[in-house]
Amino acid sequence: MPAPLEYLRPQTLDEALTLLRRPGRRTVPLAGGAWLTPRLRRDVDVPQPLAEPVDAVVDLADLGLDGIDLEGEPGAGWLVLGATTTLAQIADSALCREVAGGILAQAAQREAPVNQRNVATVAGAALAASSQSELLLALLALAGHAAIAADQPRVLPLNELLADPGQLAGGLVTALRLPWPAATVRGGLARVARTPGDAPIVAAVAVVDDAGRRLAVGGVAAGPLLLRLGADDDLEAALNAALAGVDLLSDWQGSSEYRRAMAAVLSRRALDQAAS
């Protein structure tokens, strides 16, 4: 019989970091638990379990890492989402509804049913790195950064952290930081799903401003794709280049050919929505 899972609830950030770094015991942070909790169960067979057994969890609930704040002014500041801010808080936030035509709040609303939005957190959704997460796509398209508490605190572009999660070793994400866009920045979302309540099969989120276009596409490969396009860059050529050499998803929801075709359609749709 496996050893019981150890539950820890620190009261300070320093205490949490100390617990996460204990040698000999695999200890992971617990925020809302929407993604993590089902994968910790040891009494049932759970699809996609954690790659390695977990010995202990560190509950972040008492660290004060929730909240939505604005630093600076639009166009030259940051929108700061505390790591344990729930999806419901983002969906209901007037600040988030102002970002790029409201795509951040919309993506949080679409991410999960209402009961799950009340517990699932923004950092959990981002670090789970699901290719089908529209919230993650919105964070990437909005040039999101992760603030990391560690011996040497740092802020990393979210796409760089997802590409190399080892950069988080010994640290803890405390917030997601988004450049606070000027009013001229526009956004668009597009998705295809079996039903309106299902997770998307393929989705795209676009952000357009005077400097160019940022596009995040999910549901095509194992991880989300991030494209940066100039005003004159061809979308189809950029997509083909991003997909070159990538293993495309193919399952009962859609073949690789279908997903590639929908990526092009939905990317164009998201960009058109942003432009309009």
- Backbone φ and ψ for 78, nearest 5 degrees, come out as -135, 140
Give 248-273 pLDDT, tens digit per residue: 999 999 999 999 999 999 999 999 99
Element (DSSP H or E) covering residue 174: strand 172-180
- Mean pLDDT of all residues belonging to the chain: 86
Query: What is the residue extent of each domain of the chain?
Result: 6-59, 68-180, 186-275
Element holding 146 (H helix, E strand): strand 145-149
- As a whole number of angstroms, the distance between CA 184 and CA 43 comes to 52
Quick: pLDDT tens for 200-250.
999 999 999 887 899 999 999 988 999 999 878 899 999 999 998 889 999
Of 2-6, 21-25, 107-111, which gets the smallest average pLDDT?
2-6
Q: Give residue 41's pLDDT band: very low, low, confident or very high (50, 70, 90).
A: low
Segment 20-40 shows an average pLDDT of 73
The two beta strands, 27-30 and 56-59, are: parallel
Please determine, looking at this structure, whether the domain spanning 68-180 carries the CATH number 3.30.465.10.
Answer: yes
pLDDT tens digits for range 69-106: 988 877 788 999 999 999 999 999 998 998 888 999 99
Q: What is the pLDDT, as a whole number, of residue 48?
A: 45
Angle (CA) 153 159 164, round 5°: 70
- Interval 157-174 mean pLDDT: 91
pLDDT of residue 1: 47
Strands (E), 31-140: 56-59, 68-71, 77-82
Rounded CA gap, 239 and 257, in Å? 14
| Percent of the chain at pLDDT exceeding 90 | 52
> With 90 as the cut, is the pLDDT of residue 196 above it?
no
Q: Architecture of 186-275 per CATH?
A: 2-Layer Sandwich (3.30)
Predicted TM-score (pTM) of this structure? 0.90
Task: Report d(CA 239, CA 227) in Å as an integer.
Answer: 8
- pLDDT, residue 35, reads 58
